Amino acid sequence: MAGLALGAVEARAQAQEDIVLGGSIPLTGVFAFAGVGIHAGIQDYLKIVNDAGGIKGRKIKYVAEDTGYKVDASVAAFNKITSQNKVTLYYGDSTGFAKTINPELERKGTMIMAGASFASELNDPKKFPLQFLPGPDYTEMFGILMRHIAKEKPGASIALVYSDTEFGRDPIAPGEKLATELGLKVVEKIVTPPGSVDVSTEVLKLRRARPDYTIFHGYVLAPIPEFIQQAKQMGMQSRFMGTFWSMDNSMVQQMGEAADGFMGVMPYRYYYDKEGTSPMLDRIRQMRPEYQSTAYMQGFLTAMLMTESVKRTLDAGKELTGANMKASLNTIKDFDTGGIIGVPISIPGNSLPVGRIYRFDAKQKQMLPASDWIQLGK
């Protein structure tokens, strides 16, 4: 009898134990502009959940450490956070970290992880069974861009401009293959060393190729504006496009004249997008009256998907193990994100292959939709 009572007490204690979301977050260093937004996004979503009573009465506690966007610091943060807390969910800051920590994640088997990386390599449920990407991977982003191009101008020529980093090189080879499949021609590939400031020689190369479209990948801001400005000065008519991390509205605004007409792929809706009913976006605008970056949306949605998988696991009466939570995540089908993404989403594997083309409007100083939502595989 006493044992039974003790068991019940334990069970209740268990039921009220906080669920911990740990994070290796780049609050300083080269990726800090994103880290700050991600940090705020995660906190805000968890606040919404906790204010509403948590998940089955259990609050979610967010424990984050700054990493400076360095893999060793990220791993140290992971070790520190997981040794001091019983961590169920984890946010990692880079592809390098996601790959480094993967064996440890599998060995522990107690959590699922997502992060700032959209690396194509991570989009493999066999190799990375406990991780997911809260959006399309970089190759899928190219897929969305190229599908748009193929529709707008069949047979168009494309130049790929990318940074000589793991991030930059990620979608290049599969992107070329994809272009061929869609009947597009990749006429030039230009790689720039990381941190390069002056791109005059690269622009000369671009002019010789005369592409209809130029896709930048592996950058945040520099050297995209200088590229576009010089190309326009030389009378080039190419359309310029980017992928997720160069698509934040405040970043594009900074491009000055070069911003006009800049396009790219974005899986999330922008902070100011008031089209249709979007309770979550309304909530965000209420919580934070000033513009929030696309990195914020990324953190916010990641926290939403993570908590959703916890909820589904607990609802099914299962233990919160990595495998169970990942399985629950994969049951997400036609899920309404409250307007963060414009269409209902499903996560059949490790990624969310959906996005939309946005184009910068110089008059309104905003990225505005230039296509419908494009869902790969549909």
Partner 1 sequence: MDWLYVTEVALAGLGAGALYALTGVAFVLIYKATRVVNLAIGEILMLGGYVFFGLVAGAGLSIWAAIPLTILAGAALGAVVERALIRPMLGESPISVFMVTIGLGSILAGVVELGWGADPLRLPEFIPNTPIFLGEAYLAPKVAYGALVAALLIAGAVIALRFSRGGVALRATARDQGAAYSMGIDVGRVFSLSWMAACATAAGAGVIVGAIGGISPTMGIFGLSVLVVVIVGGLDSVAGALVGGLLIGLVEALAGSFLGGEYKLLATFSLLILILMVRPYGIFGTHEIERL
Return the residues of window 138-167 that contact partner 1 according to CB under 8 A.
Answer: 164
Angle between the 95-108 and 322-329 helix axes, to the nearest 10 degrees? 120
- The single residue among 14, 83, 233, 277 that binds partner 1, judged by CB under 8 A, is 233
| 365 is an interface residue for partner 1 by CB under 8 A | no
DSSP 290-306: S---HHHHHHHHHHHHH
Please report how close the Cβ of residue 246 comes to partner 1 at its closest, in angstroms. 10
Question: Minimum distance between the CB of residue 164 and partner 1, rounded to whole angstroms?
Answer: 5
Stretch that binds partner 1, among 193-201, 309-317, 350-358, 369-377 (CB under 8 A): 193-201
CB atoms under 10 Å from CB of 289, counted, come to 7
Q: Which stretch binds partner 1 (CB under 8 A): 91-99, 187-195, 280-288, 341-349?
A: 187-195
Stretch that binds partner 1, among 23-31, 44-52, 107-115, 284-292 (CB under 8 A): 23-31
With binding defined as CB under 8 A, does residue 230 bind partner 1? yes
Stretch that binds partner 1, among 43-51, 113-121, 185-193, 370-378 (CB under 8 A): 185-193
Annotate each residue in 36-65 with x if it binds partner 1 (CB under 8 A) or - if it does not, as one string: x-----------------------------
CA–CA separation, 164 and 294 (whole Å): 24
What is the closest distance, in whole angstroms, from the C-beta atom of residue 130 to partner 1 in the complex? 30
Please, which of residues 199-228 interact with partner 1 by CB under 8 A? Answer: 199-205, 207-208, 220-223, 225-226
- In 3D, which of 339, 208, 203 has the Cα closest to residue 271? 339
Q: Which residues contact 51 (CB under 8 A, 6 or more apart)?
A: none
Q: Is 28 in the site for partner 1 (CB under 8 A)?
A: yes
One residue of 29, 174, 261, 344 binding partner 1 per CB under 8 A: 29
- CB 234 → partner 1: shortest distance, Å? 6
Size of the site for partner 1 (CB under 8 A): 43
Among 18, 33, 124, 335, binds partner 1 (CB under 8 A): 33
In the bound state with partner 1, the residue whose beta carbon lies nearer, of 120 and 293, is 293
**277-283: Cβ within 8 A, 24+ apart:** 277/339, 278/338, 278/339, 278/340, 279/338, 279/339, 280/304, 280/337, 280/338, 280/339, 280/340, 281/338, 281/339, 281/340, 282/339, 283/48, 283/338
DSSP state of 105: H
Among 85, 196, 331, 375, interactor with partner 1 by CB under 8 A: 196
> Segment contacting partner 1 (CB under 8 A): 32-40, 46-54, 81-89, 113-121?
32-40
Q: How far is the CB of 240 from partner 1 (least distance, A)?
A: 16
Biggest CA-to-CA distance, the chain: 86
Our measurement of the distance from residue 241's CA atom to the centroid of its chain's CA atoms, rounded to an integer in Å, reads: 17
- Provide the strand spans (E) within the chain: 19-25, 60-66, 87-92, 112-115, 157-163, 185-192, 213-217, 239-242, 263-266, 354-361, 366-375
- 191 belongs to the binding site for partner 1 (CB under 8 A): yes
Q: What is the DSSP string of 180-248?
A: HHTT-EEEEEEEE-TT----HHHHHHHHHH--SEEEEES-SBTBHHHHHHHHHHTT---EEEE-GGG--
Where does this chain bind partner 1 (CB under 8 A)?
28-33, 35-36, 164, 190-205, 207-208, 220-223, 225-226, 229-230, 233-234, 250-251, 254-257
